[in-house]
A and B are shown apart, each in its own frame.
Chain A
Amino acid sequence: MSSKDVEVIDRTVCFQGFFRLDRFHLRHRRLDGAWSRPMDREVFLRGGAIAVLPYDPIRDEVILIEQLRAGALAAGRNAWTIETVAGVLPADCDPTDVCRQEVWEETGLHAIALEKLYEFMPSPASTSEWMALYCAHVDAAGAGGECGLEEEDEHIRVLPMAADDALAAMAAGTIDNAFTLIALQWLERNRAALRDRWAPANDEVRLMA
């Protein structure tokens, strides 16, 4: 199936505020070859975003951030979530430029190298959001404290932690948002190879010297 197997008969803007919600009146080709009856489907419109897991391969530390998330508040859950760096990806921007900028704004660190992990949709049934997920090579020396852009009402606590502790927090359920789980699972599967690429043995010796 492809986009020619969907016919959007009508599209209505239901709400336009900071975000937008549209209703699609559509039909689509069924798997048996016939067309479905017209149906209404509401979609929360978001667009592209990036998320970045900053990782220091020499210290074997990740840098996560804590901030208030309104969706978690509305769900009746702890409204302060522990996450990777993330930000909106404007349509005409290079994702890696946005990654570097967000890593700097949200953690005060420089991304020395970036590796793309995945591009995915967090909730494709009803939300158009898609996200490009990266891992950033950082030097975590001095990481910590508060970051975030005052003009964007960002209030962020920077949490450097041993990679093992972050993986334990994931297993314990303390880290409970999709992109951070995906990034940490990826790290768990790829940590040894990543350290070899980003921190060959001589660097480790240099740090210890």
Chain B
Amino acid sequence: MNTEDVEVLEREICFQGFFRLDRFRLRHRRFAGGWTEPLHREVFLRGGAVAVLPYDPVRDRVVLIEQFRPGALAAGRPAWMIEAVAGLVEPGESPEEVCHREAMEEAGLRLSALERITGFMPSPGGSSEWVTLYGGRVDAGAAGGIHGNPREGEDIRVLTLAADDAIARVGSGAIDNAITIIALQWLALNRADLRARWTAVAAGG
């Protein structure tokens, strides 16, 4: 099936604040043939975001950030989360530019190489959010401290962890958000190759 197999009959803005929520009236082709009756589906509108896992291939350490997350608060879960660096794509900005900007703003880091890991929807049933995820090569030697853009109310603690320790925290549940789990599982699966590639480039450069 593809986009030709959906017909949007009507689309209504239900809420517009900082975020927006729309209601779609639609029908779609059924796998068994024919079309469904009209259905209502509400969607939380987000748009594009970019996330980057900063990794130091020489020290074999990752840099993660800890910050307050309102969604976690509303869920009654621990509201300070340990995450990869992430931010929204501004108009006219490339995903790579967002990686560099956010790595500097959120963690004070310069990225000396970027590798696209994957692109995905965190919650495609009810949200249009789309994340492009990268690995970024960093020198984690001086990473740490408090960062974030105060104008955006950001208040961020920078943590550096041995890659093994970070991967173990995924297994123990201490790291419990989709972006960071995907990034660290990717690192666990690709670490040897990535270190070889990135340390070779560093030596050559």
Asked whether any CB of chain A lies closer than 8 Å to the CB of B22, the reply is: yes
Whether B41 contacts A70 by the Cβ 8 Å rule is yes
Taking CB atoms, residues of chain A closer than 8 Å to B44 are: 19, 21, 44, 71, 126-127
Q: Which residue of A lies closest to B30 (CB)?
A: A155
A79 to B177, CA, bound (A): 24
Taking CB atoms, residues of chain A closer than 8 Å to B179 are: 178
Whether A74 contacts B186 by the Cβ 8 Å rule is no
Q: How far is the CB of B12 from chain A (nearest CB, A)?
A: 10
Known: A81-B124, A178-B182, A188-B189. A155 touches B68 (CB 8 A): no
A46 to B177, CA, bound (A): 15
A74 to B42, CA, bound (A): 10
Q: Which residue of A lies closest to B155 (CB)?
A: A30
Chain A contacts with B in 75-100, Cβ cutoff 8 A: 75, 77-81, 83, 86
Taking CB atoms, residues of chain A closer than 8 Å to B74 are: 22, 24, 43, 45, 128
Chain B contacts with A in 46-100, Cβ cutoff 8 A: 46-47, 66, 68-75, 77-81
Q: How far is the CB of A108 from chain B (nearest CB, A)?
A: 14
Interface residues of chain B: helix, strand, loop or mixed (majority): mixed
Interface residues on chain B, size class: 35 or more
Taking CB atoms, residues of chain A closer than 8 Å to B45 are: 74
**B12-26, CB under 8 A of A: which get 1 and which 0?**
001101110111101
Asked whether any CB of chain B lies closer than 8 Å to the CB of A115, the reply is: no
Asked whether any CB of chain A lies closer than 8 Å to the CB of B204, the reply is: no
Known: A77-B121, A77-B130, A80-B5. A130 touches B173 (CB 8 A): no
A118 to B174, CA, bound (A): 10
Whether B14 contacts A41 by the Cβ 8 Å rule is no
Known: A124-B69, A155-B36, A178-B178. A71 touches B78 (CB 8 A): no
**B172-201, CB under 8 A of A: which get 1 and which 0?**
010011110110011011000000000000
Q: Which of A31-39, A54-62, A193-201 contacts B (4 or more CB under 8 A)?
A: A31-39
**A-B CB contact pairs (8 Å), 14 listed:** A2-B78, A6-B73, A14-B17, A21-B19, A28-B155, A46-B126, A66-B31, A71-B129, A79-B2, A125-B69, A128-B72, A178-B123, A178-B178, A181-B118
Give the B-binding residues of A (Cβ under 8 A): 1-3, 5-6, 8, 14-15, 17-19, 21-24, 26, 28, 30-32, 36-37, 39-47, 66, 68-75, 77-81, 83, 86, 118-130, 146, 153, 155-157, 170, 173, 176-179, 181-182, 185-186, 188-189
- Besides A75-B129, A153-B37, 19 other CB < 8 A contacts? A6-B73, A14-B15, A14-B17, A15-B14, A15-B21, A17-B14, A26-B73, A70-B26, A70-B41, A71-B127, A72-B128, A75-B130, A78-B2, A123-B123, A127-B71, A127-B127, A128-B72, A146-B31, A177-B120
